[in-house]
Structure 1
Amino acid sequence: MSFRIGYRTLKTAVGAGLAVAIAQGLNLDFYGSAAIITILCISVTRRDSLKVSWARVVSCIIGMMISGVLFEVIGYQPWTLALIMILFIPIVVKLKMNEGIATSSVIILHLYTVGNMSLALIFNELLIIIIGVGIALLMNLYMPNSDQALRMYHKEIEEHFKTILHELSVYLRYGESEWEGKEIPETVDLLQQAKNLALRNIHNHILRYDDQYYYYFKMREKQFEILERLMPYVSQIHQTVSQSETVADFMEELSNSVSPANRVPYFLERIRSMRAGFEEMPLPKTREEFEVRSSLVYILHELEEYLHIKDRLWNHADKKKL
């Protein structure tokens, strides 16, 4: 059994230690709570960390205000604490700051434990909050660079697309194939993992919205859906006709051109040329030939949409540059 310490575990441990050291060094009461706040505020991404930290600070202030008033008016009793929670939790939920409930509860319990409101106690609690949240934000400044992993997903997905298109062209050409199709479920998993990582990468950029990888993987996901729709139609073509060779050649060329480069206009022109050629050919003589041609026309239609999906990605990228 392997034992591995992740970067987030390391950040949490170091951050908790720093928070306690600073709070204890300042002789604050309940200094251990600074570590709890730090642990709760360390998130997977920088944006999430900022959002969670803001929610915890605001909710703590709201909790201190409500509890300070009610404790002084009603008294430091268990039922007062219950009443505070009944009022406090719905307010925080309404403000969509649910993350702050646990942290605020710790601060409210501090006030209850002391049993007396004072400026010194309020200042003590504010410092604990600032130290805990501040250390968490400092720890979250470091996030591992995901560019290399994203490039790896990019490359693997393109290789799978090449294989799938190539094998479809082989089946169209010969009416049979020894392909086992393992790239299909593998591509599904790769696309999901790549999208998740790309989304996390977006949330790790605060001053810029770097979404090029995410849109690229979304584009490939939509193209993959088209390839999945094509497969039943390709598998139904057992009789080879001259048009099958033409479409097979096209798919083979498309397979060799899977890349980030935009060759969409060239391939769209190829499709228009093939359609024009099909229309000039003699009408099918048998029902089987008619069904084959119908399937090939549908395949061309789907491949055209496959190309348009990529074209839309390029248009999106161009607009982002303006």
Structure 2
Amino acid sequence: MRLLHTAIKMSLVGVIASLIARLLSLDFWITAGILAILSIHLTKRDSFVISVRRLIDSIFGLLLATLFFISFGYDFVVFSIFVFIFAYVSWVLKMPEGIVPGLVLVSHLLNEGEFSLALLGNELLLIVIAVAVALIFNLFYPTSTEKELQSHVESIDQLVRDHLYMLHLLLKDPLYNEEYYRHFERLDRKLTDTIDIVELVDKDLLFLNDHSYLAYFHMRKEQTNYIRHMYRHALKINKVHPFALEIAGFIYEMSFDIGIYNKAVVQLKNLDKLQIKYKASALPETREEFEVRAMLYQILNEIESLLMVKVQFHHLYPDFNQKRYKS
């Protein structure tokens, strides 16, 4: 859908910019449409930043070329030297987006063969019209909204709940561990794909965007890394252990608290009680039990890290749920 909207915007800005240039009786009016199309990108932020760079660099190229042609003549050798200098400076200034449009406009000056203030003004108007039309479309064309990000929040939170639910089943029933892990891998791929979409949506919010949504999704991604570690530890457990059943129950209860609110602090307190209980328990009597309890201890550490990531997020964005989910 995003690609479709981008194609629509490209078509519209190309036609409108060309028509405006033609109505103003500008020479090479079709160039305005082509340059406008080049200024459209997948997200509003990218389009805005690149369009401004393209405008500045193209104007710089026109003025530099005019200076070269007046000083050394309208010659292909002069043009070649200009291309080298212009391209090099554009890259140094981190504005390479203006190289191609600038060269297209400068080629019009070269074809004229002599200095013309009217032609220089014509070229400046072409790039200004192109960038202006593209910017207006990028700002006002309806695309992603904050509600879309909220729907992705709910989607990703559900994926994390599913991760934890499958983990609690794995600890209770290690016999089918390979099936649980395959399910986790499918969920993880879906989560990664969703975050890729969200990164594009985040760039469509130009104003009043503190990037808290993006931070939220990366926080969830980091949490899934800890869940992956827990899966790997759980896969090494090949028998049901009483402690494993308790931890599975804790993970099951914790899965219901996955959401936008900061419930991690309470869960950390419950986890601390669980750790104290295990430390006070009798030492393992066999090597096999020792290895199982060692894996379970690692899982508890991963749970603690998972919860701490959520706590840190709310320290950075304490009003996340109030700002986004007003009733």
TM-score by length of 1: 0.91
**Displacement after TM superposition at 1:319 (Å):** 7.8
Q: Which residue of 1 aligns with 2:65?
A: 67
Aligned to 1:240, the other structure's residue is in SS state coil
Question: Take 2:11 and 2:50, find their aligned partners in 1: how far apart are those partners?
Answer: 19
Judged with a 3 Å threshold, the aligned counterparts in structure 2 of structure 1 residues 167 and 194 are, in CA distance, closer, same or farther, namely: closer
Distance 1:10 1:282 in 2: 69
Q: Aligned partner of 1:122: which letter?
A: L
Q: 1:102 aligns to what?
A: 100
Per the alignment, do residues 131 and 234 of structure 1 end up closer, same or farther by CA in structure 2, a change over 3 Å counting? same
Matching residue of 1:250: 250
The residue type equivalent to 1:201 in the other structure is V
Q: Any idea what SS the aligned residue of 1:176 has?
A: helix
Note the 1:117-136 alignment, pairs <5 A: 117-136=115-134
Per the TM alignment, residue 10 of structure 1 is displaced from its structure 2 partner at its CA by 1.2
Shift of residue 228, structure 1, vs aligned partner: 0.8
150-159 or 89-98, larger mean C-alpha shift: 150-159
Contact 1:42 1:49 in 2 (8 A): yes
Partner of 2:165: 166
1:105-131 deviations in whole A, cap 9, x for unaligned?
011001011112122112111111111
Aligned to 2:24: 26
Counterpart for residue 288 of structure 1: 288
Identity %: 28
Letter in 2 for 1:113: N
Q: 1:79 to 1:258 in 2, by over 3 A?
A: same
CA deviation profile, 1:229-269 (whole Å, cap 9, x unmatched): 11122122223332222111111111232222221122111
Q: TM-score, normalised by structure 2?
A: 0.90
Preserved contact between residue 46 and residue 204 of structure 1 (Cα < 8 Å): yes
Amino acid at match of 1:137: L
Which has the larger displacement, 273-282 or 88-97? 273-282
Letter in 1 for 2:73: G
Q: Are the structure 2 counterparts of residues 220 and 96 from structure 1 closer, same or farther at C-alpha, using a change threshold of 3 Å?
A: same
* Match in the other structure for 2:275: 275
CA distance in 1, matches of 2:242, 2:191: 35
Do 2:168 and 2:249's aligned partners in 1 also have CA atoms closer than 8 Å? yes
CA-to-partner distance for each residue in 1:18-56, whole Å, 9 max, x for gaps?
111111111111111111110111122222222222222
Mapped contact 1:173–1:248 kept (Cα < 8 A): yes
The 2-side partners of 1:4 and 1:99 are apart by 22
**Cα separation, partners in 2 of 1:176 and 1:274, compared to 1, 3 Å:** same
Cα drift, residue 180 of structure 1: 4.2
Distance 1:167 1:188, change over 3 A: closer
Distance 1:121 1:107 in 2: 10
Worse-matched range after superposition: 143-152 or 83-92: 143-152
Q: Kindly indicate whether the alpha-carbon contact (under 8 Å) linking 1:167 and 1:177 is maintained by their aligned counterparts in 2.
A: no
Would the aligned equivalents of 2:165 and 2:252 in 1 still touch at CA under 8 Å? yes
Amino acid at match of 1:264: A
Instruction: State whether residues 160 and 183 of structure 1, in contact with CA within 8 Å, keep that contact through their aligned partners in structure 2.
Output: no
User: Distance between the aligned counterparts of 1:205 and 1:244, measured in 2?
Assistant: 45
Unaligned runs of 5+ in 1: none
For residues 20 and 239 of structure 2, what CA distance do their matches in structure 1 show?
78
When residues 177 and 164 of structure 1 are mapped into structure 2, their CA distance, relative to the original with a 3 A threshold, is farther
Maintained 8 Å contact 1:153/1:190: no
2:143 aligns with 144
Instruction: Please say if residues 174 and 240 of structure 1, whose CA atoms lie closer than 8 Å, have aligned partners that are also in contact.
Output: yes
Does the aligned pair in 2 maintain the 1:233–1:299 contact within 8 Å? yes
- Summarize the alignment of residues 230-245 of structure 1 with structure 2, pairs less than 5 Å apart: 230-245=230-245
C-alpha offsets along residues 173-205 of structure 1, whole Å, 9 cap, x if unaligned? 244237443442333333333333332233223
Question: Aligned pair count?
Answer: 320
CA contact (8 A) 2:45 2:206 kept: yes
Match of 1:87 in 2: 85
Gaps of 5+ in 2: 323-327
4+ runs deviating over 3 angstroms: 146-153, 177-183
Displacement of 1:143 in angstroms is 4.2
Measured in 2, the distance between the counterparts of 1:23 and 1:309 equals 54
